[in-house]
Chain A
Amino acid sequence: MKIVAVTACPTGIAHTYMAAEQLEKAARSLGHQIKLETQGAMGIENELTAADVRNADLVIFAVDIEVEKKDRFEGKKILKVGVGEAIKNPAAVLARAGA
């Protein structure tokens, strides 16, 4: 399955990247393809393109703040969870999204 995800936390120093790492790890171990965008103190990194979003089977937001450039995801079904949840139990987050 093709998954795209965005992570973002208030200070953008630690939790954004922890959540990204956890989701990546869990998705790979289940044999999925995943592309992860981080919106942290360094701004947007590994930005998802329109094509990435179009081709994705699943979209996950693991965020505690508003996602930037949200219009890219219009029309897509999105699972939104808190950053903490993604860090604590990434496998459960993926399962809820339908992976």
Chain B
Amino acid sequence: MPITLPFACDLRHGLHTRPASLIAQIAEKARSTVLVRKPGTTGADARSVLSVIALDIQPGHEWEIVVEGEDEGQIAAQLQALVRSRFGEPEVDPQPPMTESSRLPRLLTRLGVTAVKGRPAASGVAIGKLVRLRATNLSDLLSARKPDGLAIERERLIRAAGIARIDLENRAKRATGTAGELLAAHRAMLDDPQWQMQMDRKVAAGLVAERAVVDSAAAFQEKLLAASSPLIRERAADVHDLAVWLLEAMGIHSSAQLPRPEVPSILICETLTAGQLLGADLQNIAGLVLGDVGLTSHAVLLARSNKIPALVGAASALVKESPATTGLLDGDRGFLATDPPPALIRLYDVSSKVRERFRRSLMSFAQRPGRSQDGTSMEIGANASSGVEVQTAIAEGADGVGLFRTEFLYLGRREEPSESELTETFAAAVRHAGGKPLIFRTIDIGADKPAPFLPLTKEENPFLGVRGARLYPEFVGLLQKQLVAIAKVAASNVRIMAPMVTNPAEMVWFRDQVRNAERAAAAMGCPAQPLSVGMMLETPAAAAAVPSFAPHADFFSVGTNDLAQYWFAADRGNAAVARLIDQWAPSFLQLLGVAVRDAHAAGKWIGLCGDMASDPANLPILLGLGFDEISVAGVNIAELKHRLSKLSSSECRQMIDESLQRGGDIRAGCRRLRGGQTSQPVSEDLIILDSEAISKEEAIREAVEILAIAGRTDLPGELEEDVWTREETYSTGLGHGFAVPHCRSSHITGVSIAVGRLKTPVEWGSTDGQPVRHVLLLAVPADLDAKAHLQVLARLARKLMHEEFRSSLENSSSAADLARTLRRELQLSPE
């Protein structure tokens, strides 16, 4: 009896590639046949991702899965659970909405710039030569050839698929991030059964193999392009790539390769496939202008991951109508200025100088230890797994290495690493740490992270099996070798910690092992002072019982990834349950709070090295919970220290207490605290006293950039536009060398006053005809009716009519001084 599972599609983007491939993964393993269909239609083989997405199942559509065969009950249950989990997708779209003003910025008209409008696709600015590229037609690549018979043509197809498979696998292994995911997705599409069947039918019908590839691609593309969802239409480009990979494997070289320009260039073409970008040398590709492709197309995703500014929907105008040879592309404001005049280039120069200045001021944070606004210190460490990574982390301002993973020396190895290899790696780490704290975590492997040289028993449930410290008693030699290697190179800053500890006896034993290793190292002529020995808190049993471990551990470090999956009893690698893991859940935060409290009561240091530390949004929580250290990966450390310096630890603690006691929304609490400082209208970081702006346009751009850097606007382009809209009714130059450009805008987070003192006074159209030296840009949220804030601006407007006030601003000698003056005169609370 076939089982039919009816569903209503509640996925934001419909049944697109990712959910379809999760269904295919289950269907491939099934002995039953699995169909996906809209009720009353024949539907598609669930193993064929391409056919399933071509069904065009959109949000709100009814659809069903039909399972029939010997294991139908089990398979239907798995599929049911998968769909119920929404395929592990979040309920809201994580990408912020983009605005798409249909007109060009007013600024461009003012500067007499010719430009083409496009949709912003990848952030950033590019200046370069325009290079126009024609889209390739697959059929053009084929030469006329007679078929060599069915068997030979079939053989050609199979061989090409094999070569392409290996090629894509190798490329996927070498690539990282988005590129790696895409290559793996293409690799999976190669095995799509419908695609293979389609090609086979074509050769059976007498076509040559390469023609079968091109025609099959065309057939699939036609189906995909007919879908109502742009997300699915975009997959047509992947089918194109798939055909190109196969043709290349047959020795037919597509002329689709991107040019390698000698100078920075902006590439213009209607469509670009992932394959073209993946194989290209992107060094001089400064920007990208595409035709009518979606913001989720692979070309756009790759542009973003390679930090190449990009626009979509603008290519045809540039190819057909514009003879321009150079361009300036703004991937945030959404335009390409053709043959940009010097004034525009200078304006963008001003922007980048402001950003550069900010980067430099952040660097000063990097070299100071992490400290909150109210003086609580919290070390910001980094995770590392090699000497080079330690070196980079320290150079970027890490206060230490909170987690040095040693298992990478072992994973995937056929034989154990030699003692000298271990010693060399550890010595490099110690050398690069330069005296800053360095925590080596001893080998953390198990049946889930296997090392071929270790005879591990296969386990039913490896995450609950022999891993981390549980492995050591059986492989004492392995542990000793590592501990001795560390003891030999250890200095006073080096610490050691054990993973996956469950009961105190394990720590007692582990300490003894470390002492043995120290004696062995001393016997080899490397006497060192006793190493500090700590443990990770990864099992709830340990995290909830810190006092019983404290006599045996010198310090603690929370591994939130494992701790959370054990706490919520949900495998983080299983999409169907991973969403149950919520590191913001009150129960989990309470667990962390208890661990910190108990560690401190015992006088012990406690850090946190899991992924939770690497999300800057969590900073208020981790500071409030009282961690002595957080160790992060892939985060700008200087920026994190800058954020930390703006947070008050007592406010954070209070926020957590309140949320936990009264069940308040901790996410909202965090956002509020992050915005705490920025809600002040006047702030030192909004003041520039040596502005090099030489025009009204540049001065306004500079003020807007300052607001953007301070995190007060997410869409600086829109804010700038609002300022210019106001400015064009009549000039905001009020005489005496002062101007107050201002606006009410939906793109500012709180009432803000940005100040620029210009080295060269500029013409502003003021009533007294005098050029302007002081620019005070006032921005007010459009929906704000908080009187107190508006009163500040009214007060400022009145004050500016008085000479004493103006001269006190003119005579301020530093940004801090000017901020103080403004705060005093506007009756704001001092910071």
Chain A residues in 8 Å Cβ range of B780 = 13, 41
B135 within 8 A of A: no
Q: Are A84 and B797 in contact (CB under 8 A)?
A: no
Q: Are A11 and B797 in contact (CB under 8 A)?
A: no
A87 touches B744 (CB 8 A): no
Known contacts A18-B734, A25-B801, A84-B730; decide if A41 and B767 are in contact (CB<8 Å).
no
A21 sits at the interface (CB 8 A): yes
Contact partner of A18 among B730, B787, B790, B800, CB < 8 A?
B800
B505-522 Cβ-contact flags toward A at 8 Å (1 or 0): 000000000000000000
Is the CB of B617 closer than 8 A to any CB of chain A?
A: no
CA distance A60 to B87 in the complex (A): 68
- Docked Cα-Cα span, A25 to B812, in Å, equals 25
0/1 string, A3-17, CB within 8 A of B gives 1: 000000011011111
A41 close to B735 (CB less than 8 A): no
Known interface pairs A17-B798, A42-B791, A42-B794; A87-B734 also in contact (CB < 8 Å): yes
Encode contact with B along A21-36: 1 for CB under 8 Å, 0 otherwise: 1100100000000000
Rounded to whole Å, the gap between the CB of B721 and the closest CB of chain A is: 15
Please determine whether B797 and A88 come into contact, CB atoms closer than 8 angstroms: no
Q: Which of B740, B767, B778, B794 is the one whose CB lies under 8 Å from A38?
A: B794
Q: In the assembly, what is the distance between CA of A13 and CA of B470, in Å?
A: 68
Q: Is the CB of B743 within 8 A of A17?
A: no
Answer yes or no: A20 CB below 8 A from chain B CBs: yes
Chain A residue at minimum C-beta to C-beta distance from B791: A42
List chain B residues, Cβ under 8 A from A88. 735, 767-768
Q: Are A11 and B790 in contact (CB under 8 A)?
A: no
With CB as the reference atom, state the residue of chain A lying closest to B726. Answer: A11
**Complex partner residue of B798 from A18, A42, A84, CB under 8 angstroms:** A18
Q: Interface 1/0s, chain B 785-804, versus A by CB < 8 A? A: 00100110111111011100
Distance, CA A87 to CA B802, complexed state (A):
12
Q: Is A14 a contact of B801 with CB atoms below 8 Å?
A: no
Of the listed residues A16, A40, A64, A87, the one surrounded by the most CB atoms of chain B closer than 10 A to its CB is A87
> In the bound complex, do residue A13 and residue B742 qualify as a contact, i.e. CB atoms below 8 Å apart?
yes
B744 x A41 contact (CB < 8 A): yes
Pick from B778, B801, B802: contact of A13, CB under 8 Å: B778
**B744 contacts A18, CB within 8 Å?**
no
Known: A13-B744, A13-B780, A87-B734. A42 touches B790 (CB 8 A): yes
Chain A residues positioned under 8 Å from B729 (CB to CB): 10
Establish whether residues A20 and B798, one from each chain, have CB atoms under 8 Å apart when the complex forms: yes
Bound-state CA distance A15–B766 (Å) is 13
Which listed residue (A10, A41, A84, A87) contacts B790, Cβ 8 A? Answer: A41
A11 CA to B787 CA, complexed, in Å: 15
The docked-state distance in angstroms from the alpha carbon of A20 to that of B800 is: 12
Q: Which residue of B lies closest to A42 (CB)?
A: B790
**A10, A15, A38 pick with most chain B CB within 10 angstroms:** A15
Which of A10, A17, A64 touches B797 (beta carbons < 8 Å)?
A17
> Chain B's nearest CB lies how many Å from the CB of A46?
11
What residues on B are CB-neighbors of A15 within 8 Å? 734, 797
Given A41-B790, A84-B730, A88-B735, A11 and B742 touching (CB < 8 A)? Answer: yes
- How many chain B residues touch the partner (CB < 8 A)? 26
A contact residues around B732 at 8 Å (CB): 14
Instruction: Using known A-B contacts A21-B801, A22-B801, A87-B767, determine if residue A11 contacts B794 with beta carbons closer than 8 Å.
Output: no
Least CB distance from A66 to B in Å reads 15
Majority secondary structure of chain B interface residues (helix, strand, loop or mixed)? mixed
Q: How far is the CA of A56 from the CA of B465 in the complex (A)?
A: 91
Residues of chain B from 558 to 617 with CB closer than 8 A to chain A in the complex: none
Please name all residues of chain B whose beta carbon is closer than 8 Å to the beta carbon of A20 when the two chains form the complex.
798
Q: Which of B726, B734, B791, B801 has the most CB of A within 10 A?
A: B801
Cα-based distance from A8 to B778 in the complex (angstroms): 18
Rounded to whole angstroms, the CA-CA distance of A13 and B744 in the bound complex is: 8
| Minimum Cβ distance to chain B for residue A40 (Å) | 7
Residues of chain A with a CB closer than 8 A to B787's CB: 42
Residue numbers in B under 8 Å from A18 (CB-CB): 734, 797-798, 800-801
For B726, the chain A residues whose CB sits under 8 A away are 10-11
Residue of A nearest to B751 (CB): A13
A11 and B735 in contact (CB under 8 A), knowing A18-B797, A38-B794, A42-B787? no
Residues from chain B with a CB closer than 8 A to the CB of A21 are: 797-798, 801-802
Which residues of A, 65-94, contact B by the 8 Å Cβ criterion?
Answer: 84, 87-88
Residues of B within 8 A of A40 (CB): 790, 794
Residue interface mask B738-763, A partner, CB < 8 A = 1? 00101110000000000000000000
B742 and A14 form a contact (CB under 8 A)? yes
Q: Please give the distance in Å from A3's CB to the nearest CB on chain B.
A: 18
A55, B734: Cα distance in complex, Å = 33
A38 and B767 CA atoms in complex are apart in Å by 21
**Chain B, 713-747, CB within 8 A of any chain A CB:** 726, 729-730, 732, 734-735, 740, 742-744
Whole-angstrom distance between the alpha carbons of A21 and B729 in the complex? 22
Give bound CA distance, A10 to B802, whole Å: 23
Determine the residue in chain A with the shortest Cβ distance to B729.
A10
Least distance between A74 CB and chain B CB atoms (Å): 29
Contact of A13 with B767 in the complex, beta carbons under 8 Å: no
A64 cross-chain contacts in B, Cβ below 8 A: 730
**What is the minimal beta-carbon distance from B614 to any residue of chain A, in angstroms?**
41
- Most central of A14, A25, A41, A42 by chain B CB within 10 Å: A14
Q: Are A14 and B740 in contact (CB under 8 A)?
A: yes
Q: Report the separation of the CA atoms of residues A14 and B740 in the bound assembly, to the nearest whole angstrom.
A: 8
Across-interface contacts of A10 in B (CB, < 8 A): 726, 729
B778 x A14 contact (CB < 8 A): yes
Separation of A18 and B21 alpha carbons in the complex (Å): 64
Please give the distance in Å from A85's CB to the nearest CB on chain B: 8
Contacts of B802 in A (CB 8 A): 21
Q: B798 contacts which chain A residues (CB < 8 A)?
A: 17-18, 20-21
Residues of B near A25 (CB, < 8 A) are 801
In the complex, A40→B743 CA distance in Å?
13
**Complex: how many Å from CA A10 to CA B742?**
11
In contact, B793 and A13 (Cβ under 8 angstroms): yes
Beta-carbon nearest neighbor of B779 in chain A: A13
Q: Which B residue's beta carbon lies closest to that of A82?
A: B730
Q: In the complex the two chains form, what is the Cα distance from A87 to B743 in whole Å?
A: 19
CB distance from A41 to the nearest CB of B (A): 5
Q: Provide the residues of chain B in CB contact with A84, threshold 8 Å.
A: 730, 767
- Shortest beta-carbon distance from B714 to chain A in Å: 22
Alpha-carbon gap, A90 to B796, bound state (A): 19
A40 to B791, CA, bound (A): 10
**Cα-based distance from A21 to B803 in the complex (angstroms):** 12
Residue of B nearest to A17 (CB): B797
Rounded to whole angstroms, the CA-CA distance of A46 and B794 in the bound complex is 13
A40 CA / B734 CA spacing, docked (Å): 18
**Chain A residues with Cβ under 8 A from B791's Cβ?**
42
Can you show 20 pairs from A to B with CB atoms below 8 A apart?
A10-B729, A11-B742, A11-B743, A11-B744, A13-B744, A13-B790, A13-B797, A14-B734, A17-B793, A17-B795, A18-B734, A20-B798, A21-B797, A21-B798, A21-B802, A42-B790, A64-B730, A84-B767, A87-B735, A88-B767
| Shortest beta-carbon contacts, A-B, top 9 | A17-B797, A21-B798, A88-B767, A21-B801, A17-B794, A14-B797, A18-B797, A42-B790, A17-B798
Besides A11-B726, A14-B778, A14-B793, 13 more A-B contacts (Cβ < 8 Å) are: A11-B742, A14-B732, A14-B740, A15-B797, A16-B797, A17-B795, A17-B798, A18-B734, A18-B800, A18-B801, A21-B797, A41-B790, A87-B734
Q: Which residues of A are at the interface with B, using a C-beta cutoff of 8 A?
A: 10-11, 13-18, 20-22, 25, 38, 40-42, 64, 84, 87-88
